[in-house]
Chain A
Amino acid sequence: MIRSFSTEDHDAGGGIQLNSVSKGFTNPEGKYTPIFENLTIDFKPNQLHVVMGTSGCGKSTLGYLLAGFAPPDDGEVKLNNETVRGPGPDRLLVFQETALWPWMTVTQNIVFGPHMRGVASVAELKSQARDMLAKFGLADFSEKYPDQLSGGMKRRVEIAQALINRPTVIILDEPFRGLDVMTREILQEYYLALFEETLQTTIFITSELEEALFLADKIYILGDSPTRIREVIDIDLPRPRNFDVTVSVEYLAYKEKAIELLFRDDHELLS
């Protein structure tokens, strides 16, 4: 599906680490509530890392920490051994809620970032955007405005908008949430094909187990309060994957194991 996404001078080879990061929120009365305490994760390069957790466990905050929108209260975030000190085009977050600029067309949305940084001519960027849109099945929508697109199309545009910046790490915060099952599965396959082609280091945040198992090299299950990593599961399913893998014996074994891990603590509570 996505055959020739340009990998030249594409710095997809970096990893990102959280080194004993603590982060919390202070409410208006001055009471501090920790979300993470001493969280350490080493997201290795060229892998598809899936972060899973129930809603409210701080998944989105993790995305903000990695993107540099929220500084850690303690510890540090490191990209290729350099401390992260704010947002930057090397770590791009695709927001949970669509963040496309409604007054720009699809093409304008995609080229805006690199155009404003002046990294390439507009003509060059537009041709890159055209190629990406073609690969994402959006060739006919390049001059449409975001409000004229369906939810699934918007998500594809946003991924293209991030990737044209050639980020070291892309962070996707529940990107396919709220889409219907068909669209969701199509987009999962799109993203998987893209990843297997480029080995773009990816942090994929989700609350759906099937999605996690289908996509991941590694699944990090978050939980408890303050949030910690409850479990890390290496998913050793063969690549390239397609939906056939979801009926394989290995997949079902992983699923069984994951469900056991996910609900173990709840069982303990109940018994």
Chain B
Amino acid sequence: MWSAISSTLNWRGLASVLGFFILWYMACILELAGFTEMANPIEVIQMFLREYIDSTHYWFSWLTSFQRVLYGFLFAQLLGIPLGLFFGSSQKFRHLFFPVFELLRPIPPLAWVPMSILFWPTNESSIIFITFIGAFFVIVINVFEGVRAIKKEHLLLALSMGVPKWSIFLRIMLPSVIPSIAVGMTLGIAITWDVVIAAEMIASDSGLGRLTWEGYVSSTPEVLVIGMISIGVAGFLSTKIVYIVEKRMMPWRKTNP
């Protein structure tokens, strides 16, 4: 998990990271244009250690955002994978429903916020729905393309060996699209975090997005930076978890990345 970092973090990398923090610090101290309201890195670390590291409110924000991402992401997989499979394997189904799907797909997830609030009974469910929308379309499209890209010979071979239809679906088609499902997951988890943060700023009173927004509203720039870094770390961790799951899904790619 850390190999990607350690392999790029030599003395040059270390120097540039250090340089970044020094520049940031200097910019704040010298009160350069735009940096007058900004917190410097020392202040951020002090604030974090003093008020946040053992704050339940802070860690609860983490939990809340993670939950929303998890639910949105899981629902998107649960509905998106079968829908993509249907689109890919049944022409009738595709002709019937794909136009509606394509009609809704270009609408950005955040454009769904107001309608989602009207539609869903609780605030929580509306945020999860928006998160779901973010990942859903990407997953469906990837699975659909995955089905269309199945090697014809893989199906013909099974067919000629007298493998029953249902087994061909389960044992040949499904594994064939696993790599596409994985691509959908990678893209999906990134979009999910994008969407949940924005949705929390607009329409929620909890979560890491809200925490960051509060830092702005209450004129405590340290909090704002703590929120941003937390979101970055959360997104990074989720990507890594998804990556591990994907590797488990495709053991045959163990030695051939």
Contact = CB atoms under 8 A, between A and B. Distances in A.
Contacts of B172: 101
Query: Chain A CB within 10 Å — which of B154, B157, B172 has the most?
Result: B157
Contact of A87 (B160, B175, B254, B255): B160
Contacts, number: 68
A99 interface: yes
Q: What 5 A-B pairs are tightest by C-beta distance, nearest first?
A: A113-B161, A87-B160, A99-B153, A145-B252, A103-B175
20 contacts: A68-B160, A87-B159, A88-B162, A89-B160, A95-B156, A99-B151, A101-B175, A103-B175, A103-B252, A112-B158, A112-B171, A113-B161, A113-B162, A113-B163, A116-B161, A116-B164, A116-B171, A145-B252, A147-B252, A147-B253
B47 interface: no
B167 interface: yes
Nearest to B155: A99
Interface in A9-27: none
A95 B163 CA distance: 18
B190 interface: no
B163 to A, nearest CB: 4
A87 B163 CA distance: 11
Contact of B160 (A93, A101, A146, A147): A93
B162 A117 contact: yes
B160 A116 contact: no
B202 interface: no
B181 to A, nearest CB: 12
Contact of B162 (A89, A103, A104): A89
Given A88-B162, A93-B160, A117-B162, A147 B256 contact: yes
A240 to B, nearest CB: 30
Given A67-B160, A99-B151, 14 more contacts: A89-B160, A93-B160, A99-B154, A103-B175, A103-B178, A112-B158, A112-B161, A113-B161, A113-B162, A117-B162, A145-B252, A147-B253, A148-B256, A165-B161
Nearest to A93: B160
A110 to B, nearest CB: 11
Interface string B169-183: 001100110100000
Query: Chain A CB within 10 Å — which of B163, B175, B250 has the most?
Result: B163
Residues of B contacting A: mostly = helix
A102 interface: yes
**Which size class do B's interface residues fall under?**
20 to 34
Query: Chain A CB within 10 Å — which of B156, B161, B256 has the most?
Result: B161
A67 B159 CA distance: 11
A103 B253 CA distance: 8
Nearest to A99: B153
Contacts of A114: 161
A99 B161 CA distance: 13
Contact of A99 (B157, B163, B178): B157
A148 B255 contact: yes
Contacts of A93: 156, 160
B83 to A, nearest CB: 22
B178 A116 contact: no
A93 B156 CA distance: 9
B58 to A, nearest CB: 43
A88 B160 contact: yes
A137 B162 CA distance: 28
Given A69-B156, A101-B175, A117 B252 contact: no
Query: Chain B CB within 10 Å — which of A97, A103, A148 has the most?
Result: A103
Interface string B220-257: 00000000000000000000000000000010111110
Contacts of B250: 103
B161 A92 contact: yes
A118 to B, nearest CB: 9
A102 B161 CA distance: 17
A112 B163 contact: yes
A147 B256 CA distance: 7
A117 B163 contact: yes
Contacts of A148: 255-256
A91 interface: yes
Contact of A116 (B153, B154, B163): B163
B175 A91 contact: no
